[in-house]
Structure 1
Amino acid sequence: MSNFVVNAVAREDEGKGASRRLRREGLVPGILYGGDKRKKPAAISVQNNELVKMLADNTFFSSILTLKLDDKEEQVIIKDLQRHPSKPTVLHADFQRITKTNKIKITVPISFAGFEKSAASKAACKFAAEKNTVEILCLPSDLPESVEVNLSACQSDQVLHLSDISLPAGVEIVALRRGEDHDQGIGYVYAPRGARAAK
């Protein structure tokens, strides 16, 4: 897991006017919620420049983050992010506290490996990925940096689905918990134009 530290400050002013003032000062309004039932949601702000810098690393979204607030540290994940459509500015950020015993839903990258060893590759076929992330459910201690699809057994014209993802122990795919009808395609093998004729 990546070690990201988010420095936050508690804020008392809420509402659109207060949020606009914060953004003019280079701050991102946010909310911290969840975790222990005794802990209430907290309105916070973080430095936009610091947050944008961390967002440049794709693993930020699939990592457990350390949020520092009022001289205390909490383990959190990023749950929602609103970005400006044209500027390098975050408009709002939601952070969810985590606990060791509660499972979390989080989106992690999908890595595809081994296609070059497949029969499809040897037949001059190519692989195209349709999804590069997937939402999983697991305990924080079981959170993988990514999940993998082994393509070494791929055949020509094969379609890969969520159920083809190799999952570590304790990790589930959220969509598949809803049933087989939600086993979406994540990639497919195809023959480039001219490849068939060249056989």
Structure 2
Amino acid sequence: MGLIPATLYGADKAAVSISVRNTEVTHAEINHKLFHNIIHLNIDGALESVLVKDVQRHPFKPLIQHLDFLRIKRNEAVTITMTLNILGEDELVKKGLVANKVIQDIEVSCLPSDLPDQISVDLSELGAGDKVLMKDLNLAEGVEIVSIQSNEEAADWPVIVIDYPTVEEVETDNDDETEAQDTEN
């Protein structure tokens, strides 16, 4: 339980198997500092700047079983997937609306020093039929959405669509009612 196996790779250096303290990883995760943050690892007396690239978890216990760390160079852009932080959903509910999340994770590219803590979207002022498009996401200077870099049309992709909830009618099986009536007779 004390150590978690990990792999350190990238930055044109050989991959290395290491172990990290479970308590430090758990503390970083609880404080939302494990992902999207530069972490400094002491490897044989040398500090390595890294990002968590992958986490393998136990299938049913709240345990991290393995970590992948990506070495970074401060002057080279990194690509990372970030989950959108949705704000104002409670205001939509009050209006009888729902937010249909078409895209929940956004892949961004930037210098390590420009990594955002989160990408937030405020839905509180939106109404039925409104959309949040990729190009509407409020990103810090130097942070770019990877899909827009590779495909200009991606700027117009909907990320969130606001609408009224839909209710599907469930067909009832009339055979059950017929059987119940037959049993009573």
Q: TM over 0.5: same fold? A: yes
Q: TM-score, normalised to structure 1's length? A: 0.68
User: Between the two proteins, what is the percent identity of the paired residues?
Assistant: 34
* C-alpha distance in 2 between matches for 1:136 and 1:69: 28
Task: Spell out the pairing of 1:78-89 with structure 2 (5 A cutoff).
Answer: 78-89=52-63
What is the match of residue 85 of structure 2?
111
- Segments of 5+ residues of structure 2 without an aligned counterpart are 167-185
What is the match of residue 171 of structure 2?
none
Larger Rg: 2
Query: Which of 176, 180, 185 is residue 148 of structure 2 equivalent to?
Result: 176
Query: Which of 99, 107, 110 is residue 128 of structure 1 equivalent to?
Result: 99
Any idea what SS the aligned residue of 1:60 has?
Answer: coil
Amino acid at match of 1:40: A
Residues 102 and 139, structure 1, Cα contact 8 Å, conserved in 2: yes
Any idea what SS the aligned residue of 1:62 has?
Answer: coil
Query: Which of 168, 181, 185 is residue 158 of structure 2 equivalent to?
Result: 185
Amino acid at match of 1:30: A
* C-alpha distance in 1 between matches for 2:96 and 2:117: 29
Task: Spell out the pairing of 1:137-156 with structure 2 (5 A cutoff).
Answer: 137-151=109-123, 154-156=126-128
**Is 1:31–2:7 an aligned residue pair?**
yes
Any idea what SS the aligned residue of 2:35 has?
Answer: helix
Q: How many residues align?
A: 165
What is the match of residue 44 of structure 1?
18
- Segments of 5+ residues of structure 1 without an aligned counterpart are 1-24, 194-199
Residues 33 and 96, structure 1, Cα contact 8 Å, conserved in 2: yes
Coordinate RMSD, CA, aligned = 3.1
Amino acid at match of 1:124: K
**Is 1:56–2:30 an aligned residue pair?**
yes
